[in-house]
Amino acid sequence: MIALLFASAVGILTTTGIYLMLRARTFDLILGLTLLSYAVNVFIFLMGRITIGRPPIIDSALTPTLANYADPLPQALVLTAIVIGFAMTAVMLVIALRAHAETGTDHVDGVEPPPSEPRP
- Residue 45 resides in a domain: yes
Residue 22 burial by CB count (10 A; 0-12/13-18/19+): exposed, middle or buried?
exposed
- Residue 110 resides in a domain: no
Q: pTM of the prediction?
A: 0.77
pLDDT at 97: 92
The boundaries of the domain holding residue 94 are: 2-52+66-103
- Residue 6 resides in a domain: yes
- Residue 34 resides in a domain: yes
pLDDT at 61: 81
- Residue 40 resides in a domain: yes
Total domains in the chain come to 1
pLDDT by residue (tens digit) across 63-104? 877 777 777 788 888 999 999 999 999 999 999 999 888 888
Residue 35 burial by CB count (10 A; 0-12/13-18/19+): exposed, middle or buried?
buried
Which position has the higher pLDDT, 116 or 27?
27
- Residue 70 resides in a domain: yes
For residue 33, which of 76, 87, 78, 111 has the smallest C-alpha distance?
87
Q: How confident is the model at residue 49 (pLDDT cuts 50, 70, 90)?
A: confident
- Residue 89 resides in a domain: yes
- Residue 119 resides in a domain: no
